[in-house]
Structure 1
């Protein structure tokens, strides 16, 4: 009967009570078969033996601070074709829709609609037999005022964990730093970027302090995410220690970062914890050069400056004469170096495992561009998704644990002897791995902080 149907315009406000969404603006589109709801941080899980999915939603367009954490039983996983012709696989959930005073169950697909004008798309399958559309009208069922929206979402704002998190780094425009700030804000936290060079500290037995340029005292942070570039490791770790003295939770501790930056010490720690590395030699005197070369299997071999970072200060010596020249040149400058065997069979490839809180959350294979020099390290090139073996996962997790890092980029190379660990990075970049895997690594870092505070409670 016509009088029993809800008459709607091309845009309307509706709600999903069971999901905790008090109101959301929807685009009514009878040309679309499937309904879609904006969702981020989508993650399937098993609950009581059944498949469920959890996700976050920013229900108000252009507002990332209002976040609702939802979970629902999973109905299906299917390929959906968007209006632009793009096909993507989406999770499908069932939910009770409330619109115009009426309720009924609908199926909704979950997808990121940040680029769209509406957080919700109401398709014809959800409207069949229940809704009449007048496309010339809008908000026939009314619309909330700004004050109404604030009141409706007041409870969800209060329910957020609302931690005050500081990102201790150098460049706010760096992709990784921008993503971490964004991920924290999306989960409802107060994020503050703290430039390492603009922080200074007061050492005091009874009242230690950290000040920010201009005299502001940084005394009310719940957690700090240290992302310290190698060139300022000493000062950055000193600041991290000061936050630790103030009883602030640091995602990576100052001691863990310090030892990860000491290449020789970190390799010794890894070996002591049963993690295999390429055969490596270290000596103090040029008089031991010949034996050092023999020790790692002879040329070709790699010479690494202990103070070098991310591929800098690394030389491939292809002959014994070249190796002697490079080693002796570095020694004449009183530079500390490592000499390491060259893994030829790796063929210019390595694996980066991103470990967060004792779990490999993503992995990529990195491959050099044609003609690019690679010396058991990643210097650029292309990145692609790779399925790591259980042994490679075990090594990555074991390495992060040995270094006492909650967040680590663990670089592994495949050799004829099996997987070997190359390096553990305490401030791994996010751009390459998020781009290749489409995973929300920044969000996982924020979740690790939330988990710490949930555990404390």
Structure 2
């Protein structure tokens, strides 16, 4: 002790008696103002005429089978900027923190911390007047052993009893992929990460197979969740088709993913289903450049490479001369492009609707940082919760249905003509939208698979 203050290292074990959390590892960070606790399945409710919030927590890092169900009085909702730059609306609770033989009441925000190294962040507001930090030291208080953790959490381990689900993707460390694996494990399913590059196919009329590096035959799966990056579309969709041939349920079909990656075809398909888009032109010859510019309303306008991904290959042409130069430059290298009207009134904002199984389960508004260029698409910036209109929901649902996607990120822009659809993504990321909305979208994807099997 120093002046009756608790001396802590940069990392410590603590507990929350009122929440039923007997041991959790915390990052002690005086640079952070507010404390934060890992939480998923966050839901407010009313108890005895007071506002409460319930949530689940996996208190041990990299262990999704151990789960604690918590509830606490809700004292506030705040907009917090996360370490990844997103603005999140977080619920705030007040509860007792126990450190060593000391305990006191602190405020904490609830947020998904799966991408962080610690389930708990202890900020300076909780430490003022009570704590001295020695950043060179770690675990100055009691540290539980593996046996201790097994004993205190033995009643919180969820047994596996469900489906065999494979996540077909490229990077197991990506936030979205980790969350989907976690969500499946939490619901009792056997989850396997299948690296696209390590899968290969046996084409055979009588006995088609998919092998995994080392010769293992992948024949045990009930369902596959394809999350295929654009650069792996051809091979990833070939693998998905092979799983479909083996009668394995795929959350997004190979044909749906393939057509979603063809920007021109997907826009034609959406228009045929009555979904409005910004006025868009497509031509083969540079001789048609002048009329192409005129048909989309003239400059400023957007030029998009059909093969571009994640905002790359997108140019804002502010004058007719600039538009002609960009279009002709792309045409000179035989690149296929779209020319699209620029929606000035959107003011650098778009809306991402996340659709799962025919429902908009979450939505965020994405806004460019000051000085950042946005050409009718999302290029970065901040995300915040937004209330979408019925028209916007209708467009998002109709677009996902038109593309035959069970899971889709549908990007919409607000214009003077009403909401317009920009793009449909068959492998939308979860980090920004889960962080901003505190919704368990990964869990909703797993439930869509369960619904197919009527579980």
TM-score (norm 1): 0.72
User: Could you tell me how far 1:65 is from its partner in structure 2?
Assistant: 2.0
Q: Flag the 1:451–1:385 CA change in 2: closer, same or farther, 3 A.
A: same
Distance 2:410 2:420 in 1: 11
Q: Which residue of 1 aligns with 2:107?
A: 86
User: Could you tell me how far 1:85 is from its partner in structure 2?
Assistant: 2.4
Q: Which residue of 2 aligns with 1:166?
A: 166
Instruction: Show structure 1 runs of 5+ residues with no match.
Output: 1-13, 15-23, 28-37, 47-51, 91-112, 117-142
Distance 2:171 2:244 in 1: 22
Distance 1:89 1:169 in 2: 29
Count residues with an aligned counterpart.
368
Superimposed CA distance per residue, residues 298-338 of structure 1 (whole angstroms, 9 cap, x where no aligned partner): 11111111111111111111111111111111111111111
Q: Does 1:272 align with 2:293?
A: no
Instruction: Show structure 2 runs of 5+ residues with no match.
Output: 1-16, 24-37, 47-51, 77-92, 98-104, 112-117, 122-146
User: Could you tell me how far 1:87 is from its partner in structure 2?
Assistant: 5.5
Distance 1:344 1:192 in 2: 45
User: Could you tell me how far 1:25 is from its partner in structure 2?
Assistant: 7.7
SS in 1 for 2:166: strand
SS in 1 for 2:326: helix
Q: Does 1:428 align with 2:428?
A: yes
Give the superposed CA RMSD: 3.5
Distance 1:88 1:56 in 2: 14
Q: Flag the 1:39–1:177 CA change in 2: closer, same or farther, 3 A.
A: closer
Superimposed CA distance per residue, residues 335-363 of structure 1 (whole angstroms, 9 cap, x where no aligned partner): 11111000011111111111111111111
Distance 1:450 1:54 in 2: 23
Whether the aligned pair in 1 keeps the contact of 2:72 and 2:94 (CA below 8 Å) is: no
Return 442-451 or 202-211, whichever deviates more.
442-451
Distance 1:289 1:61 in 2: 56
Q: Flag the 1:42–1:437 CA change in 2: closer, same or farther, 3 A.
A: closer
Q: Flag the 1:320–1:215 CA change in 2: closer, same or farther, 3 A.
A: same
User: Could you tell me how far 1:190 is from its partner in structure 2?
Assistant: 1.6
Q: Which residue of 1 aligns with 2:188?
A: 188
Q: Which residue of 2 aligns with 1:329?
A: 329
Distance 1:312 1:181 in 2: 29
Whether the aligned pair in 1 keeps the contact of 2:59 and 2:67 (CA below 8 Å) is: yes
Q: Which residue of 2 aligns with 1:351?
A: 351
Superimposed CA distance per residue, residues 28-82 of structure 1 (whole angstroms, 9 cap, x where no aligned partner): xxxxxxxxxx974245799xxxxx99976769998522569x89xx999666412
Whether the aligned pair in 2 keeps the contact of 1:167 and 1:225 (CA below 8 Å) is: yes
Q: Which residue of 2 aligns with 1:389?
A: 389
Superimposed CA distance per residue, residues 7-28 of structure 1 (whole angstroms, 9 cap, x where no aligned partner): xxxxxxx9xxxxxxxxx8869x
Q: Flag the 1:64–1:334 CA change in 2: closer, same or farther, 3 A.
A: same
Whether the aligned pair in 1 keeps the contact of 2:40 and 2:55 (CA below 8 Å) is: yes
Superimposed CA distance per residue, residues 213-266 of structure 1 (whole angstroms, 9 cap, x where no aligned partner): 111111101111111110110110000000111111111110110000000110
Distance 2:257 2:363 in 1: 21
Distance 2:205 2:387 in 1: 50
TM-score (norm 2): 0.72
Q: Which residue of 1 aligns with 2:239?
A: 239
Superimposed CA distance per residue, residues 156-205 of structure 1 (whole angstroms, 9 cap, x where no aligned partner): 63xx5421111111111111112211222222222111111111000111
Distance 2:269 2:452 in 1: 26
Whether the aligned pair in 1 keeps the contact of 2:54 and 2:72 (CA below 8 Å) is: no
SS in 1 for 2:106: coil
SS in 2 for 1:201: strand
Q: Flag the 1:317–1:257 CA change in 2: closer, same or farther, 3 A.
A: same
Distance 1:424 1:430 in 2: 15
Distance 1:78 1:147 in 2: 33
* Residues 70-149 of structure 1 aligned to structure 2 (within 5 Å): 80-82=93-95, 83=97, 85-86=106-107, 115=120
* Residues 308-323 of structure 1 aligned to structure 2 (within 5 Å): 308-323=308-323
Q: Tell me which stretches of 4 or more aligned residues in structure 1 moved more than 3 Å.
A: 24-27, 42-46, 52-63, 74-80, 87-90, 113-116, 143-150
Whether the aligned pair in 2 keeps the contact of 1:77 and 1:89 (CA below 8 Å) is: no
Distance 1:56 1:437 in 2: 16
Whether the aligned pair in 2 keeps the contact of 1:413 and 1:422 (CA below 8 Å) is: yes
Q: Flag the 1:262–1:85 CA change in 2: closer, same or farther, 3 A.
A: same
Distance 2:187 2:431 in 1: 20
Whether the aligned pair in 2 keeps the contact of 1:356 and 1:448 (CA below 8 Å) is: yes
